[in-house]
Amino acid sequence: MNLQSLLREKRVLVLCGAGGVGKTTTAAALGVAAARAGRKVLVLTIDPAKRLAEAMGMPEGGAEPTPIPPERLFAGQEPGPGRLDVWMLDPRVVFERFVRRLSSSPEAARTILENRLYRFLSDLVAGMQEYAAAEALDNFLDEGGYELIVLDTPPSRHALDFLEAPGRLARFLDDRIVSVFLPEEKSRGGRLWRKTSQLVGNVLGSIFGESFTQEMRTFMGAFSGLFAGIRLRADRLRSRLTSPDAAFLLVTSPEGASLSEAAFFRDMLHEKGLPFAGFVLNRSWAREDGLTSPEALLRHVEDAGAARDGVEALIRLADLERARAEAHRGVLARLAEKLPAGAVAVAAPEAGGELEDFGGLVRLGEALATS
Ligand SMILES: Nc1ncnc2c1ncn2[C@@H]1O[C@H](COP(=O)(O)OP(=O)(O)OP(=O)(O)O)[C@@H](O)[C@H]1O
Ligand SMILES: [Mg+2]
């Protein structure tokens, strides 16, 4: 299997890796390649670099995916049946929509969203932001409008926590301090607990004021109603992401730190039973194996002696470049060792300033798909 067949066959591609290695760029370039090859593709990006957002024409904080105009998508080739939408995820927008959908009534949703504690708490609740990305993914998979969804992840070792986030959310709410705020019928303690809860409530009431405590109780009560929905979705999403329809690609640069991060992610995927599909060695010279030596050029020069002085520096430079390409090929070869069946190790070139425009992404996508 190569990257091209992944792009042709998978329904979900998730890109993970250390900070700044090119996850978002790779996600975009792969999305472009798959759409040009004829699939209906959605790229869900997280916090893209400004120049990428500009090259793709993505509006910031949009409430839904933006289609790439066909004339841009298919520049330089015959228009095909493919389509490319991109969405710069705003976790807050996604989460609010999610609260609305899962709440028992529009009033219950409003209780949560309009509560002045909501913003404060949505930052505090560990995993809520990561969960938003997963939530968006699950939704689009449900709607079935796309043949392939490429999911970018945030630069963190916690990038895959969204699979566990509902568990973490639940732990947060199960926490006894928090359950103090739950309406009585929803907290599980006995008489003693109720007394404690009352006491804590009173203390907090005297610190924050009675209305604050009441507001917190209402909020937590409404919120706890979402949990059944969250659990259900988490289970479904986990089974979707562990299925053979999904593939996780690890992006890395040729540098040691990001390579060890890639190794960390590979172990983590294994641990979580997620389908590891290979490595993208980004910004590498691994494929520059056709470099001509300046010495070879000198063979065609008549007065080679005089020209040689002038090109000494060039020769040294070429030697360095060759050594770097050699080193990167070594890195790629090591990444390719012990890959599971069907997984790939591909090198993406350093695109320099090319990524300023959409054409640069097209070329990067092609380089990835055909390597
Ligand atoms: N192959 C490439 N050639 C040239 N520049 C690249 C390449 N890949 C990525 N870049 C540049 O590197 C920078 C970081 O890339 P990108 O935002 O895709 O990384 P990321 O892994 O998503 O970062 P973060 O972890 O912050 O989300 C950007 O300026 C991007 O344009
Ligand atoms: Mg990124």
- Tell me the HSE value of 167 on the side-chain side, using a 13 A CA sphere: 7
Least-confidence region, from 90-99, 112-121, 260-269: 112-121
Residue 62 located in a structural domain:
yes
Determine contact, residues 25/355, Cβ cutoff 8 Å. Answer: yes
Q: What's the gap in Å between 92 CA and the centre of ligand 2?
A: 17
| 125, pLDDT greater than 60 | no
Q: Taking the CA atoms of the chain, what radius of gyration do you get in angstroms?
A: 26
pLDDT at 263 over 90: yes
- Average confidence (pLDDT) over 322-334: 93
Ligand 1 pocket member 282 (CB < 6 A): yes
Instruction: List, for residues 206-237, the tens digit of each pLDDT value.
Output: 776 777 677 777 766 766 666 666 667 777 88
- Spacing, Cα 252 to ligand 2 middle (Å): 12
Q: Is 20 in the pocket of ligand 1 (CB under 6 A)?
A: yes
Residue 94 domain-assigned (yes or no): no
pLDDT higher than 70, residue 356: yes
| Residue 362 lies inside a defined structural domain of this protein | yes
Q: Is residue 227 part of a domain?
A: no
Range of the domain at 73: 1-38+47-88+244-371
Label residue 99 by pLDDT band (50, 70, 90): confident
Q: Which is higher by pLDDT, 141 or 166?
A: 141
Ligand 1 atom showing the smallest separation from residue 282 Cα: 1
Which residue puts its alpha carbon closest to atom 15 of ligand 1?
Answer: 22
Q: Is residue 185 part of a domain?
A: no
CB atoms within 10 A of CB 325: 18
Closest ligand 1 atom, CA of 28? 18
- Mean pLDDT estimate for the chain: 81
Q: Whose CA is nearest to atom 8 of ligand 1?
A: 22
CA of 22 to the centre of ligand 1 (A): 4
Which CATH number characterizes residue 302's domain?
A: 3.40.50.300
Cα of 25 from ligand 1 centre, angstroms: 5
1 lies in a domain? Answer: yes
The pLDDT, as a whole number, for residue 10 is: 96
- 156 found inside a domain: no
CA 304 vs CA 245, 297, 301: distances in Å: 59, 10, 5
Domains in the chain, number: 1
Angle between helices 128-143 and 165-174 (to 10 degrees): 130
Residue appearing with tokens 């890796």: 17
- Rounded to the nearest whole angstrom, what is the distance from the C-alpha of residue 289 to the centroid of ligand 2? 29
Residue whose CA is at the smallest distance from ligand 1 atom 11: 22
Calculate what percentage of the chain has a pLDDT beyond 70.
72
CA distance 50 to 69: 19
Higher pLDDT, 163 or 322: 322
Bridge-based pairing of strands 40-45 and 83-88 is: parallel
- Read off the pLDDT band of 75 (50, 70, 90): very high
Kindly give the distance from the C-alpha atom of residue 54 to the centroid of ligand 1, in angstroms, as a whole number: 14
pLDDT band at 145 (very low <50, low <70, confident <90, very high): very high
- Residue 212 token pair: 């604050």
Taking the CA of 18 as reference, the closest ligand is: 1
Residue nearest to ligand 1 atom 24, measured at CA: 20
Q: Which atom of ligand 1 is nearest to the CA of 47?
A: 27
Q: What is the pLDDT of residues 336-347, one digit of tens each?
A: 998 998 899 999
Residue 171 sits at the vertex; the CA angle it makes with 167 and 176, to the nearest 5 degrees, is 165
Neighbours of 8 (CB within 10 A): 16
Portion of the chain with pLDDT greater than 90, in percent:
39
pLDDT above 50: residue 176: no
Residue 190 domain-assigned (yes or no): no
- The Cβ of residue 230 has, within 10 Å, a number of other Cβ atoms equal to 18
pLDDT band at 270 (very low <50, low <70, confident <90, very high): very high
Q: Is 281 exposed, middle or buried (0-12, 13-18, 19+ CB in 10 A)?
A: buried
pLDDT digits (tens, 9 = 90+) for 38-73: 999 999 987 778 888 888 888 777 778 999 999 999
Sheet of strand 40-45, all strands in order from the earlier edge strand to the far edge? 66-67, 83-88, 40-45, 148-152, 12-17, 246-252, 276-284, 344-349
